[in-house]
C-alpha cells in the first residue's frame, strides 16, 4: 500500500496514502462549522497501525458488521438497528461535532441519520484492507443511479477489485464478499441504502455533506490514542457518536501492545481509549459477540461508558478463562483459584496456550482483593501445578514462562498488599524427615 506520500495544497492523503478530495473537504466545512481540512491534516500525521505492512496477513477481514439479527446476534437481542433508532432520535446541541466508528459499523445503513449528528466521521480500524475497501465503496456509491441488486453487486465487486489491485495476496474471494454483502442488505432491510430509490438518494445526499475519513490505528496503541485525543481537544470538537463494535472482546490484544512487566491492578484494555474526550451526552455503542451468552448490541452515554466497558471486560475474561460468568452463585472468589489452575495447566505450545499470560494478567486485573487473598494463600498449589506441567519443563524458554507466570501472581498480590504463601520443596522434605523422626521416637517410647 502507498504510505507516507506528501500532502500539497491541492492534494491530501490519509495516513495510508488514500487520496482525499480537497474540494469536498471545503464543502463539508460549510456544513460542519469548523475546518474539516485542518482536522484531516492533523489526523493524517498519525502513524498507521504497526500491522499495516502485513496487510495481506489479515485473514479475518470483516467487510461488514455482524451486529444484526442473523449475523452474530439472535432475534431476541438488541441489534445495531436499535442503535440507529437512537441516532435518529438524538438531538445534539454543539455545532463542532464528530463521530468515531470502528470498521464498517453499519454505515451503509445509517448515513442519513449519522449526517444529522456530524459531518466528519473518523473510521478507525487497524486492518488496511478493510479501510481501503470501505474508502472505495463510499467513493463509488455517489455514482450509483439505481437501487437494484445488480447495481449493489457491481458496487461491491468494484470496491473489492480495487482493493485486490491495491493489496497483493488477499485470499478472501469476491464471491464470499458478495454473499456477505447480500446478507447484510437483507438484515438491515429498510435501513439499507439499497432498500429503495428514496433511501439511496438520502444516502447520497448525506455523503455530499459529510466526510468519512479512514484512519489506520489501534485502540490499544498508547501514542495514537493520546494524539487523537489531543487533536479533538485542541480543535474543541465534541464526539457525539462513538461505536467501537466488539473490540473490547479482543482483550488479549491489549497486552500484546502493553507488554509485561507493568502494573496489574488498574490496567485494563480501555486504558488508552480512556484518553478520548467523551462528553456526558456522547452516544456510545458497543457489542458482545464472543464471550457472553447473550450476543447483543448496547448503547450508553459517555459519562458511564468506561464503567460499563470495565464490567463487560470482567465478564468476558472470566467467561473465557473459567467457562462461567460471575453472578450471585459464583463470585470471583469462587472462580479465581480454579481459573489460575486451569491457566497453569495449559500447554504453552498451543494457540490458546500462547495467550496464557495475557489471560492471567487480565484475570488478576479484574479480581477483588478477597479473591486475590485466597489466591495468595494457595500460591503453592499454582507453583506445584506448574512444576508438574511438563511442557513448561521442556526448554529454558518454557522455564522462563513458568517464572513469569508466577511473577504476575506475585505482582498482583503485592499490589494488593498481600503476602504470598510460597511452596518450598526442600522445606517439605525437611517436614517429612522430621515427621518420620518423630514417629520413630514415639515408637521407641512405646
**pLDDT at 414 > cutoff 80:** yes
Considering the domain boundaries, does residue 420 fall inside one? no
Is the domain of 102 the same as that of 177?
A: yes
Is the domain of 232 the same as that of 334?
A: no
Q: Cβ neighbours of residue 190 under 8 Å, at least 6 residues apart?
A: 196, 199
Query: What local confidence, expressed as pLDDT, does residue 21 receive?
Result: 83
Query: What local confidence, expressed as pLDDT, does residue 122 receive?
Result: 96
Considering the domain boundaries, does residue 217 fall inside one? yes
Query: What local confidence, expressed as pLDDT, does residue 198 receive?
Result: 96
**pLDDT at 422 > cutoff 50:** yes
The DSSP bridge partners found for residue 212 are 121
Question: How many domains does the chain contain in total?
Answer: 2
DSSP 386-441: HHH-GGGGSSHHHHHHHHHHHHHHHHHHHHTT-------HHHHHHHHHHHHHHHHH
Is residue 248 within 8 A of residue 269, CB to CB? The reply is yes
Average pLDDT over residues 347-358: 70
Average pLDDT over residues 385-407: 72
Is the domain of 33 the same as that of 87?
A: yes
**pLDDT at 269 > cutoff 90:** no
Considering the domain boundaries, does residue 110 fall inside one? yes
The pLDDT confidence band at residue 40, using thresholds 50, 70 and 90, is: very high
Considering the domain boundaries, does residue 221 fall inside one? yes
**pLDDT at 64 > cutoff 50:** yes
- 241 three-state secondary structure: strand
Is the domain of 355 the same as that of 312?
A: no
In sign, the C-alpha dihedral spanning 225, 252, 69, 179 is: positive
Cβ–Cβ contacts within 10 Å for residue 57, how many?
11
Is the domain of 350 the same as that of 266?
A: no
Query: What local confidence, expressed as pLDDT, does residue 385 receive?
Result: 83
Considering the domain boundaries, does residue 431 fall inside one? no
Considering the domain boundaries, does residue 199 fall inside one? yes
254: closest CA among 220, 286, 226, 224?
220
Residue reference for cell 485502540: 219
**pLDDT at 424 > cutoff 50:** yes
Considering the domain boundaries, does residue 427 fall inside one? no
- Please give the sequence-ordered ranges of beta strands (E in DSSP) within 263-422, or none if there are none: 278-288, 296-301
Query: What local confidence, expressed as pLDDT, does residue 151 receive?
Result: 94
Q: What is the mean pLDDT of the chain?
A: 83
Is the domain of 238 the same as that of 369?
A: no
Give the Cα separation of 393 and 399 in Å (integer). 6
**pLDDT at 4 > cutoff 80:** no
- 238 three-state secondary structure: strand
Is the domain of 264 the same as that of 347?
A: no
Of 298, 317, 336, the domain-final residue: 317
Query: What local confidence, expressed as pLDDT, does residue 388 receive?
Result: 77
CA distances from 75 to 64, 69, 206 (A): 19, 5, 30
Is the domain of 17 the same as that of 157?
A: yes
Looking at mean pLDDT, say which of 215-219, 255-259, 353-357 comes out highest.
215-219
Which domain covers residue 197, as residue numbers?
12-317
Is the domain of 164 the same as that of 231?
A: yes
Cβ–Cβ contacts within 10 Å for residue 366, how many?
24
Residue reference for cell 464472543: 290
pTM of the model: 0.85
pLDDT digits (tens, 9 = 90+) for 120-150: 999 999 888 889 899 999 999 989 988 899 9
Q: Which residue has the higher pLDDT, 148 or 95?
A: 148
Average pLDDT over residues 429-437: 53
**pLDDT at 429 > cutoff 70:** no
Query: What local confidence, expressed as pLDDT, does residue 350 receive?
Result: 64
Considering the domain boundaries, does residue 435 fall inside one? no
**pLDDT at 421 > cutoff 90:** no
**pLDDT at 358 > cutoff 90:** no
Is the domain of 300 the same as that of 249?
A: yes
Q: Which residue has the higher pLDDT, 270 or 123?
A: 123
Of 317, 335, 370, the domain-final residue: 317
Cell of 261: 512487566
Is the domain of 173 the same as that of 264?
A: yes
Is the domain of 234 the same as that of 259?
A: yes
The pLDDT confidence band at residue 6, using thresholds 50, 70 and 90, is: very low
pLDDT digits (tens, 9 = 90+) for 148-171: 999 999 999 999 988 888 776 677
Give the Cα separation of 313 and 365 in Å (integer). 10
Amino acid at each position: 500500500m502507498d504510505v507516507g506520500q506528501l500532502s500539497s495544497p491541492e492534494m491530501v492523503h490519509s495516513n495510508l496514502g488514500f487520496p482525499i478530495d480537497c474540494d469536498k473537504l471545503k464543502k463539508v466545512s460549510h456544513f460542519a462549522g469548523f475546518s474539516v481540512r485542518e482536522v484531516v491534516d492533523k489526523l493524517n500525521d498519525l502513524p498507521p497501525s504497526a500491522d499495516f505492512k502485513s496487510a495481506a496477513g489479515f485473514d479475518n477481514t470483516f467487510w461488514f458488521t455482524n451486529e444484526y439479527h442473523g449475523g452474530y446476534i439472535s432475534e431476541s437481542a438488541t441489534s445495531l438497528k436499535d442503535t440507529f433508532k437512537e441516532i435518529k432520535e438524538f438531538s445534539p446541541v454543539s455545532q463542532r461535532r464528530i463521530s468515531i466508528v470502528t470498521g464498517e459499523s453499519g454505515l451503509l445503513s445509517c448515513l442519513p441519520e449519522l449526517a444529522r449528528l456530524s459531518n466528519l466521521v473518523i473510521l478507525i480500524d487497524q486492518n488496511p484492507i478493510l479501510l481501503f475497501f470501505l474508502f472505495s465503496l463510499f467513493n463509488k456509491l455517489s455514482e450509483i443511479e439505481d437501487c437494484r441488486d445488480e447495481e449493489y453487486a457491481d458496487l461491491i465487486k468494484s470496491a473489492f477489485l480495487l482493493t485486490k489491485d491495491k493489496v497483493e495476496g488477499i485470499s478472501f474471494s469476491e464471491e464470499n464478499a458478495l454473499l456477505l454483502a447480500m446478507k447484510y442488505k437483507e438484515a438491515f432491510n429498510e435501513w439499507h441504502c439499497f432498500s429503495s430509490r428514496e433511501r439511496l438518494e438520502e444516502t447520497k445526499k448525506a455523503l455530499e455533506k459529510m466526510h468519512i475519513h479512514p484512519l489506520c490505528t489501534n485502540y490499544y496503541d498508547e501514542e495514537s490514542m493520546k494524539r487523537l485525543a489531543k487533536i479533538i481537544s485542541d480543535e474543541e470538537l465534541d464526539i457525539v457518536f462513538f461505536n467501537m463494535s466488539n473490540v473490547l472482546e479482543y482483550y488479549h490484544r491489549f497486552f500484546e501492545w502493553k507488554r509485561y512487566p507493568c502494573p496489574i491492578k488498574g490496567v485494563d484494555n480501555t486504558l488508552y481509549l480512556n484518553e478520548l474526550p467523551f462528553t456526558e451526552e456522547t452516544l456510545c455503542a458497543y457489542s458482545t459477540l464472543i464471550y457472553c451468552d447473550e450476543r447483543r448490541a448496547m448503547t450508553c452515554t459517555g459519562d458511564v461508558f468506561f464503567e460499563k466497558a470495565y464490567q463487560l471486560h470482567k465478564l468476558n475474561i472470566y467467561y473465557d478463562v473459567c467457562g462461567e460468568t460471575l453472578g450471585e452463585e459464583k463470585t470471583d472468589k469462587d472462580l479465581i483459584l480454579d481459573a489460575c489452575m486451569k491457566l497453569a495447566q495449559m500447554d504453552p505450545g498451543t494457540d490458546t496456550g500462547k495467550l496464557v499470560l495475557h489471560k492471567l494478567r487480565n484475570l488478576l486485573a479484574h479480581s477483588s482483593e478477597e479473591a486475590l487473598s485466597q489466591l495468595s494463600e494457595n500460591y503453592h498449589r499454582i507453583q506445584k501445578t506448574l512444576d508438574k506441567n511438563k511442557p513448561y519443563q521442556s526448554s529454558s524458554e518454557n522455564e522462563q514462562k513458568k517464572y513469569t507466570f508466577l511473577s504476575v501472581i506475585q505482582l498482583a498480590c503485592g499490589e494488593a498488599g498481600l503476602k504470598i504463601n510460597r511452596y518450598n520443596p526442600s522445606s517439605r522434605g525437611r517436614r517429612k524427615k522430621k515427621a518420620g523422626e518423630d514417629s520413630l521416637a514415639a515408637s521407641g517410647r512405646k
